[in-house]
């Protein structure tokens, strides 16, 4: 797979007009854009997310549970286009941007990894058999409510790619949108 180019942005997400290879962005700590898509459902009044076990071959957080799908916004793409592409690549589901709830925008300064991330939520109330994981990035998925995920992160933080603080932020944002 060819390495993609990413548009360089400032810490507020404004395009600078420059682009660089993904690896160079991470080497030099250049700001770039990502999208995170959280699959959720309302299970008898309880909101559940669909965490997935990342491939053991992933360069970051291999063999760990993750609460969201997503990835980098490639050069020339909007965040909306990247969200549609990432959902298709990672789950096999073709969606339109109107199928998603737009969530918060997060700014992450991880030193060498600096990201401006647009969060989206997808109400997936369908059979899990409809999902396909042909790109090799996902080993398995399972429905879990926020409390179950939080307990698992506290009990086994080394098995998760996220934090309790991040999960609580997403929970607050999603519940404010009052998903039905």
Question: pTM of the predicted model, to two decimals?
Answer: 0.93
| pLDDT, tens digit only, all 180 positions of the chain | 578 999 999 999 999 999 999 999 999 999 999 999 999 999 999 999 999 998 777 666 678 999 999 999 999 999 999 999 999 999 999 999 999 999 999 999 988 899 999 999 999 989 999 999 876 778 899 999 999 999 999 999 999 998 999 999 999 999 998 665
Q: CB neighbours (10 Å) of residue 131?
A: 17
How many whole angstroms separate alpha carbon 28 and alpha carbon 25?
5
Give the DSSP H or E segment for 53.
strand 52-54
Side-chain-facing half-sphere of 135: CA atoms under 13 Å? 18
| CB burial of residue 56 (10 Å; 0-12, 13-18, 19+) | exposed
Side-chain-facing half-sphere of 25: CA atoms under 13 Å? 27
The fold of the 5-176 domain, in CATH, is Nucleoside Triphosphate Pyrophosphohydrolase (3.90.79)
- In the chain, where the domains are located: 5-176
- 160, 165, 170, 172 alpha-carbon torsion, rounded to 10°: 140
Q: Tell me the three state secondary structure of residue 25.
A: helix
How many whole angstroms separate alpha carbon 180 and alpha carbon 46?
10
């Amino acid at each position: 797979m060819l390495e993609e180019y990413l548009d360089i942005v400032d810490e507020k997400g404004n395009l600078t007009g420059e682009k660089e290879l993904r690896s160079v962005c991470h080497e030099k700590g250049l700001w770039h854009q990502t999208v995170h898509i959280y699959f959720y459902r309302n299970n008898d009044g309880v909101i559940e997310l669909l965490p997935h076990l990342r491939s053991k071959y992933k360069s970051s957080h291999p063999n760990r549970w993750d609460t969201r799908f997503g990835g980098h916004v490639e050069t020339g793409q909007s965040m909306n286009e990247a969200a549609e592409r990432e959902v298709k690549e990672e789950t096999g589901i073709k969606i339109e941007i109107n199928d998603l709830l737009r969530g918060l925008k997060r700014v992450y300064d991880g030193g060498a990894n600096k990201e401006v991330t647009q969060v989206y939520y997808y109400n997936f109330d369908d059979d899990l058999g409809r999902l396909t994981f042909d790109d090799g990035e996902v080993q398995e998925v399972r429905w879990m409510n926020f409390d179950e995920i939080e307990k698992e992160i506290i009990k086994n933080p080394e098995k998760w790619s996220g934090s309790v603080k991040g999960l609580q932020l997403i929970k607050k944002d999603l519940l404010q949108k009052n998903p039905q």
